[in-house]
Amino acid sequence: MSADGKVLVIEADAERRQDLKAVLKFIEHEPVMVEDCDHWTEAVDDASDLLAVLVGKCKSDNVLEKLLKSIHDFDEHLPIFLLAEKGREPTVAIDAGSCILGRIELPARYTQLTNAMHQAEIYRESRTEAGRQRPVDLFRSLVGSSRAIQQVRKHIQQVADSDANVLILGESGTGKEVVARNIHYYSGRRDEAFVPINCGAIPPDLLESELFGHEKGTFTGAISARQGRFEMAEGGTLFLDEIGDMSLPMQVKLLRVLQERTFERVGSNKPIDANVRVIAATHRNLEENIKDGSFREDLFYRLNVFPIEMPPLRERVEDIPLLVNELIRRIEHEKRGSVRLTSGAVMALCQYNWLGNVRELANLIERMAILHPFGVVDVGDLPEKFQTEAALSSVREQQESGQQPAFSDELVLTPPPIEYQEPRLPRSGIDLKEHLSNLEQSFIKQALDDAGGVVAHAAKRLGMRRTTLVEKLRKYGLQRGEVAS
């Protein structure tokens, strides 16, 4: 598929076709105009050449549904936009799971078509073979370049191969279970089970049975013998989340298992060996809990062989753009849509306090993908709590200075609008086409000079795709090396 891509327009009205053709050419997309709904495939050689389809007026709803089905059968990942007059709603449903990305109001405006084509590009990218087959990255909330998160990754590498007990400390939502899963994944126990249990979510009188299992008839409802989490994790890793919420009597029993490496099911005297690595986590300050008597000191030292502290998101703000990018990739990998954020929106996220940490950020990105499927989210599209005066002020300052924030190159961001002074038309007039062509060549040369001849970097500065810039170099007969020199 070409960078700008062909756009198929199926519209019976000749005047509308002409208007749409003019606007699409102006925004550098090649229009393929078709009048007859029944013979549109004759105008298209290959689906990979198409960026999107614009569907206009049909004879009836049945004809429209038949047309949409034929487009889906031709290419199930081809984005579709419905053309409709102002005030008229589409007669077919538009949802996030459909290839119908939205409606375009007629007469079509330049900005509306530009945004629609941007949506189509995002949709097409998210449906590429590479995107669908991308393996899930275990690190997830461990993505980032901050010193704190690099230290966490270093600790994981250091402790993974040992059998030492690990205590992970950090606020709720920071990714403590992700750390535990990574330790297990990179350990010699990776082929065995990873068994998590939230000690704070299970009533104290049931936690013993959950951990150690029970025999038949031990208590009312015990109609059969049952394995506990220690047995399920045999040879693998047991993750005790929210260990700080465990009752004191249960702490005593857990300490005994950690010391003796054996346990008994509830209602049995038969010892069972515990070949299990224990990783515990808590959001509490256990040293304070030891002082107030709610946590045993001896258990703390048994668990705290190798402590890892997960930083809150507000202390690793520089990681937010990378995390946003990773969360979007995960949504695309799971085929739940896609979305992009402008630099202003990301800056607003960096200003927020994030009491819910990475979990709260993940929920926000998923919500934006639902509300703005395959769209671009700006500051005004975020919930009101992100639209603080400080955030808006930072965005204004960044736009006025013309500087781009130091975000990851991988994150797809739309640049802030550039403000131009209104040019004066000479009395003698000008050749507008030649003037714009000269202006475009000048900017391309400047971008390539600044980028040292690297086309990808120059394209990023010009806000276009690399392949688009390559086509323009050919068009104007420019050579990269000559320009850069």
* CATH number of the domain to which 69 belongs: 3.40.50.2300
Q: Which tokens in the block code for residue 121?
A: 């590009």
Instruction: Give per-residue pLDDT as tens, 73-118.
Output: 888 888 898 888 876 665 555 544 457 888 888 888 877 888 788 7
Is 419 a member of any domain? no
Q: Domain containing 359 — which CATH number?
A: 1.10.8.60
Specify the 3-state DSSP secondary structure of 344. Answer: helix
Is there a single domain that holds both residue 322 and residue 366? yes
Is residue 154 a part of any domain in this protein? yes
104, 37: one domain: yes
- Rounded CA-CA distance 103/261 in Å is 64
Give the pLDDT of residue 483: 45
Indicate the SS3 state at residue 460. Answer: helix
Q: The CATH number of the domain where 464 resides is what?
A: 1.10.10
**Is 353 contained in some domain?**
yes
Cα–Cα nearest to 81, from 112, 59, 111, 110: 112
Using DSSP's 3-state secondary structure scheme, residue 227 falls into coil
pLDDT at 403: 52
406 lies in some domain? no
| Within-domain flag for 422 | no
pLDDT at 284: 96
The CB-side HSE value for 334 (13 A sphere, CA atoms) comes to 10
- Cβ atoms of 349 and 319 closer than 8 Å: no
12 and 69 belong to one structural domain = yes
Which two structure tokens, joined as six digits, stand for 29? 């997309």
Q: Are residues 346 and 268 in the same domain?
A: no
Alpha-carbon radius of gyration of the chain: 30
Asked if 182 and 194 sit in the same domain, the reply is yes
DSSP 80: E
Query: Alpha-carbon distance 193 to 483, whole Å?
Result: 58
Residues 207 and 240 occupy one common structural domain: yes
pLDDT in tens, 442-484: 788 878 877 777 777 788 788 887 778 887 887 887 765 544 4
Q: What is the pLDDT of residue 315?
A: 94
- Pairing mode, if any, of strands 262-263 and 272-273? antiparallel
On whether residue 418 sits in a domain, the answer given is no
Residues in the chain with pLDDT < 50? 1-3, 95-97, 129-137, 404-422, 482-485
256 shares a domain with 375: no
Q: Which residues contact 314 (CB under 8 A, 6 or more apart)?
A: 353, 354
Domain tally for the chain?
4
Range of the domain at 437: 432-484
CATH code assigned at 204: 3.40.50.300
Looking only at the bridges linking them, the beta strands covering 30-34 and 262-263 are unpaired
Q: What does residue 300 show for φ and ψ, rounded to 5 degrees?
A: -55, -45
Do 154 and 293 have their domain in common?
yes
Residues 303 and 325 in one domain: no
Residues 203 and 291 both lie in one domain: yes
Across the strands, what pairs with 271? Answer: none
Q: Reduce the DSSP state of residue 421 to 3 states and report it.
A: coil
CA dihedral (123, 128, 133, 137) positive or negative: negative
Using alpha carbons, select from 100, 156, 138 the residue that is nearest to residue 330. Answer: 138
Q: Which two tokens stand for residue 259?
A: 């010391």
Is there a single domain that holds both residue 330 and residue 286? no
